[in-house]
Amino acid sequence: MNDFTDIQARLNYTFNAPILLRKAMTHASYVNEEGLKADESNERLEFLGDAVLEVCVSDLLYHRYPSLPEGKLTQRRAGLVCEPSLAKLARELNIGSTLLMGAGASQSGGRELDSILSDAMEALLGAIYLDGGYSAVRELIHRLMAPIVDTISAPPKDYKSVLQEILQKNTKETAVYTIVEANGPSHSKVFVAEVSHQGKVLGMGRGHSKKDAEQNAAHEALTAMKAASNTNYK
């Protein structure tokens, strides 16, 4: 069995519970081809890692830029946790070659897809959080982000952040994103996201990753808001 020694060396982190690392490196296509239980893929860890990442990056930015207002901090955070940034980190850690992936997904280039790599990166962070606690994952995230934190201000077309800034002018309630559909094979899924605020659906969007679907939902919401009130969000 692969003990994932190389990835642990690259992370400079040794797992107390190696099963968590294996799960983080297990793509859904591998689970499907091997006939394993659905919860043996990295999808639940991805969900957890997404939240952990946002908290740790927020903590990093809050202390690194004490004079930046909330909106600018939000933009910088979005630039660090977006799919391209996470995929870049995953490539630097050589996560693509480490993933347990089904033959079909691998042969179709799945190991190089930003969506798969960024999801695996989040799953890995979720696994470290469970294995070593908040301090361990915080230290790792700060170490990985340190070389790029000053070079990124915002991702291109960060519609989610723009929408949130507009909504927070009138209320402190945040937008809520829900994945309402997920269709297609595990290595080429199409997700449908819905964004709502105070119980009202503002927009829907599709994408080959959850993040893309959410960005497209925010874009639709902004487009509708601009049409209704001439809001300038560019």
Given a contact cutoff of 8 angstroms between Cβ atoms, the answer to whether 68 and 76 are in contact is yes
Q: Which of 25, 41, 212, 60 is nearest to 144 (CA)?
A: 60
**Collapsed DSSP state (helix, strand, coil) of residue 46:** helix
Q: Which of 72, 233, 36, 53 is nearest to 152 (CA)?
A: 72
- Residues with catalytic annotation? 50, 122
In angstroms, the CA 105 to CA 102 distance is: 5
Angle, helix 114-132 to helix 210-229, in steps of 10 degrees: 110
In angstroms, the CA 151 to CA 108 distance is: 33
